[in-house]
Amino acid sequence: MGWIQAAVSTVAVLVLGIATPVAHAALEGTVATEQLEVDVSSRSVAVTSGFNGTELVVFGSVANSRQDSPESGYYDVVIVVEGVMSPVVVRRKSSVGGLWINTASIRFGSLPSYYAIASTRPIDEIADADARNLHRIGFSHVPMQVASRGFSSGLSQSELMAFQESVVRLKRKDGLYVSEDYSVAFIGRSLFRAAIGLPANIPVGPVTARVYLFRSGEMLSMADVRVALTRQGLDRYLHTMSKSQPLLYGLLCVALAVGAGMLGSTLFRKASH
């Protein structure tokens, strides 16, 4: 029997050219392990002048799924979508002589500009803190390395934590850090999907979707897929020009202003005659 199974698997590999672990598992005579295969609805998103946010559908399937029905809750899926990593300066105000002034600041070297979690149920029910920390799942596990401290260097650990919490709070307020439990749904025994809203204010840059498959707190498989979020059209042209040829861009702004001012007065002078 074993050689038949092996032969069938080998044929499958030759024909389909995919899913080697399936074949390996079968070849070794062990039980086939689950394997994630994921993709997104769009591998590239254009940020144009009309960009008003978009919806990204992350979908995938569990190869060798052992669940009987989509509703069984046998597997847990967690999707983490991270935007471009960028440095952030966090400032804290305090009252100085009756005025509220920025008095303390911390610069975090690199943290995700956008961070979304979608899961089949609340993430603390899916995995323990160690696993979540290891895989950077959850707002409290977003990496925040202090790059430099300004104004007051003697910040205590609890103050540092207050700064880190403020980043998450402010990012959530801006809609850049989002989490939605129960937003990943199985459609069949192995197929699942989740819709993730990329907001209009998402910083432009590469976006990565990481997908984790859990079973009873144990991570079985992980896969990731990248989405290129790039400026396109007029917006790209103007943004690039403002950075690479700022003098020309500045002169263009002035020329536009002079043109608009002159055109306006000419039009209205004619209209009033």
Partner 1 sequence: MNFYLPIAELSVNIFVFLGMGAAVGFLSGMFGVGGGFLMTPLLIFSGIPSAVAVGTEAAQIVASSVSGAIAQYRRRNVDVKLGVVLLVGGILGSIIGVEVVKILRRIGQFDLVISLAYVTFLGAIGTLMMIESLNTIRKSRAGHVASRRSGQHSWIHGLPLKMRFNRSKLYISAIPPFVIGAFVGFLAALMGVGGGFIMIPAMIYLLRVPTNVVVGTSLFQIVFVTAMTTVLHATQNYTVDIVLALLLMTGGVIGAQFGAVAGEKLKGEQLRFLLAALVLMVCLRLAWDLVVEPSELYSISSLTGGH
One character per residue 6-45, x = contact with partner 1 (rule: CB under 8 A): ----------------------------------------
Q: Select from 35-43, 99-107, 120-128, 190-198 the region that touches partner 1 (CB under 8 A).
A: 99-107
Supply 181's token pair.
């439990």
Total count of residues recorded for the chain? 273
- Dig out the tokens for 251 from the structure: 């002169």
DSSP 3-state percent helix, strand, coil across the chain (nearest 5): 35, 35, 30
- Per-residue contact flags (x/-) with partner 1 for residues 120 to 159, judged by CB under 8 A: ------------------------------x---------
Residue 261 main-chain phi, psi, to 5 deg: -65, -45
230: contact with partner 1 by CB under 8 A: no
Q: Toward partner 1, which CB reaches closer, 122 or 233? A: 233
* Residue 12 Ramachandran class (φ > 0 left, ψ -120 to 50 alpha, else beta): alpha
Question: Of the ranges 23-31, 90-98, 178-186, 221-229, which one interacts with partner 1 (CB under 8 A)?
Answer: 90-98
DSSP 50: T
Does 261 help bind partner 1 (rule: CB under 8 A)?
Answer: yes
Site membership for partner 1, residue 203 (CB under 8 A): yes
Instruction: Tell me the CB-side half-sphere exposure of residue 251, using CA atoms within 13 A.
Output: 3
According to CB under 8 A, which one of 11, 161, 170, 228 is a site residue for partner 1?
170
3/100 with CB nearer partner 1? 100
Binder to partner 1 among 47, 127, 194, 198 (CB under 8 A)? 47
Helices (H), 57-156: 123-126, 129-134
CA-closest candidate to residue 58, choices 34, 36, 75, 74 = 36
**Cα distance between residue 9 and residue 209, in whole Å:** 31
Q: Can residue 246 be called a binding residue for partner 1 (CB under 8 A)?
A: yes
**Beta strands per DSSP E along 205-260:** 205-215, 218-231
Determine which residue in the list 99, 154, 156, 273 makes contact with partner 1, applying CB under 8 A: 99
Is 161 near partner 1 (CB under 8 A)?
no
Closest listed residue to residue 194, CA positions, set 113, 73, 84, 77: 77
Q: Which residues are 56's β-sheet partners? A: 196
- Applying CB under 8 A, among 6, 27, 222, 252 the residue interacting with partner 1 is 252
Residues that bind partner 1 (CB under 8 A): 47-53, 86-95, 98-102, 105, 107, 113, 150, 163, 166-167, 169-171, 200-201, 203-204, 231, 235, 238-239, 242-243, 246-247, 249-254, 256-258, 260-265, 268
